[in-house]
Amino acid sequence: FTASLLLGTTLTISSNHWIMAWAGLEINTLAILPMISKSHHPRAIEAETKYFLTQATGSALLLFSSMTNAWQTGQWDITQLTNPTSCLILTSAIAMKLGLVPFHFWFPEVLQGTPLTTGLLLSTLMKFPPITLLYMTSPSLNPTVLTSMAILSTALGGWMGLNQTQIRKILAFSSISHLGWMTIIISYNPKLTLLNFYLYALMTTATFLTLHSTKASKLSTQMTTWTKAPTLNAALLLTLLSLAGLPPLTGFLPKWLIIQELTKQDMA
What is the model's pLDDT at position 124?
A: 96
- Residue 34 — φ and ψ, nearest 5°? -65, -30
d(CA 264, CA 261): 5
> What backbone phi and psi angles, to 5 degrees, belong to 164?
-105, 150
Rounded to whole angstroms, the Cα distance separating 75 from 82 reads 9
- Per the DSSP assignment, residues forming a β-bridge with 166 are 218
* pLDDT the model gives residue 228: 84
CB 208 within 8 A of CB 190: no
Domain range for 18 is 1-265
Average pLDDT per 10 consecutive residues for the chain, totaling 268 residues: 95 95 97 93 95 97 96 93 95 97 95 95 96 96 96 96 93 97 95 97 96 90 85 93 94 96 88
Asked if residue 78 lies in contact with residue 71, where contact means CB atoms within 8 angstroms, the answer is no
Which stretches does DSSP call E strand in 108-218?
none
- Per the structure, the count of domains in the chain is 1
pTM: 0.94
